[in-house]
Amino acid sequence: MFIDIACSQKKKYNQNAYGDYFASNRFPNMNRVVAVLSDGLGSGIKANILACMTSTMLLKFMESHFDIEKSCEIIMNSLPVCKVRGISYSTFSAIDCYDDGNAKIVEEGNPDFIWIRNGEVLKPEYQSIQSKDFKNRKMKVYNIQLEKYDRIIFCSDGATQVAMGSKRYPLGLERSGLIKIILNKLEQEPEISSKNLSEYLVKQIELIAPNKELKDDTSILSIYCRDPRESLIFTGPPFHGEKDNYYAKTFMEFKGKKAISGGTTANIISRELNIPVIAKLSMNSGKLPGLSEMAGVDLVTEGILTLTKTLEYLESGNTEENAAKTLMDFLLDSDVINFLVGAQMNKAHYDPNLPIEIEIRKNIIKKIAKVLEEKYLKKVNVQFV
């Protein structure tokens, strides 16, 4: 199971800083995701600082399995006190969740989270913990078991209180109103991604607000338990030529999305499985060879040059429109990425007459795997063949 998580936010009308703050971290090797959404007192910069401090501290505490009660006391004690109101305050929702569905949720002050399974809203049990130092603060702690296709929605009170005092919503949209919008959307688009759902909800809330002006910062944090999107990238001819056929078949039988990065690799698969590969002569591919086409394969690119550029794009975040960008998008569109790397050297690449130095494929793939794991929090497997 893959935990798809995304947060969408909108500032209070006319403010220049977000008063809600979202922080998350994924540990692909531990199959774990931690996320915090915090809402700081008031709005603007002051709220932003409170919320940001709360989120980042709480995230760190949760990551290290530090006792949640103690963490919260420490955070509440360390927040700066508002000069005007004489209090320091920020509310939060936090989740620590594993791929097997085991999740712990802690809430303080934010609207209760919404848990949806098969179009129904579940009502989980919780433990209520009173703060020792702060009389008015109570935490709710939930230990729940998520199942595939479950959804969890967290929001700041900007979402539930929108349009409060209006004729249509005297008490604001409320949690029940928000649930209606969510269930409606899920009926139309049962497989909507967390990103699209959270963006959609924030947009709807903005439309409900009188004159479309939000009176408070509004955040939606959406979680969706789904099958991981897997992809397989075959690059480089296998070391033992006699296994070409075996690897070509393994590649083609893969269920997820498939890419080939390497002209010779594409030729081998084409030869072994008798599927033509068509190289395209394109004018605007610039400094990289363009894409080829092959039935049953989602993407076919040239190898080393394209991979080198893709690595550069992944590291810098700057891209141009070319085959490397297409390959980067392909990678970022997957949750679990598998590389099948042929270890045969291409002698021609080590010709001293070549105008550029070409790096060994293995090294580039290792670097790509590293940046995908560390910067983009993907799960990556590399197999050398």
Partner 1 sequence: MAKVEVKVCLGTTCFVMGGSNLQELNDIIPQKYGDKVELSAANCLGLCSINWEYSKAPYVKVNEEVVSEATVEKVLEEIDKQLGN
Binding site for partner 1 (CB under 8 A): 263-264, 266-267, 277-283, 285, 287, 289-290, 292, 302-305, 346-349, 351, 353-356, 358
Nearest to partner 1 of 59, 259 (CB atom): 259
The secondary element (H helix, E strand) that includes residue 290 is none
Instruction: Give me the least distance between CB of 357 and partner 1, in Å please.
Output: 10
Instruction: Give me the least distance between CB of 356 and partner 1, in Å please.
Output: 6
Nearest to partner 1 of 121, 252 (CB atom): 252
Phi first, then psi: what are they for 179, rounded to 5°?
-60, -40
Nearest to partner 1 of 81, 348 (CB atom): 348
Instruction: Give me the least distance between CB of 361 and partner 1, in Å please.
Output: 11
Residues in CB range of 180: below 8 A, 6 or more apart: none
Nearest to partner 1 of 207, 354 (CB atom): 354
Nearest to partner 1 of 279, 382 (CB atom): 279
Q: Do 218 and 201 form a contact (C-beta atoms < 8 A)? A: no
Instruction: Give me the least distance between CB of 308 and partner 1, in Å please.
Output: 10
Instruction: From residue 48, give the alpha-carbon distance in Å to each of 17, 39, 80, 384.
Output: 7, 8, 12, 47
Phi first, then psi: what are they for 260, rounded to 5°?
-120, 130
Nearest to partner 1 of 161, 346 (CB atom): 346
β-strand pairing of 2-10 with 218-226: antiparallel
Q: Say how far apart CA 298 and CA 267 lie, in whole Å.
A: 16
Q: Which alpha helices (H) appear in the chain, and where do they start and end?
A: 44-63, 68-78, 157-160, 174-188, 194-208, 244-253, 263-273, 304-316, 323-332, 361-374
Strand-pair partners of 258: 232
Nearest to partner 1 of 40, 289 (CB atom): 289
Instruction: Give me the least distance between CB of 288 and partner 1, in Å please.
Output: 8
Nearest to partner 1 of 56, 285 (CB atom): 285
Tokens at 270, concatenated: 């084409």
Q: Which alpha helices (H) appear in 193-260, and where do they start and end?
A: 194-208, 244-253
Residues in CB range of 44: below 8 A, 6 or more apart: 12, 15, 16, 17, 19
Residues in CB range of 364: below 8 A, 6 or more apart: 304, 307, 308, 311
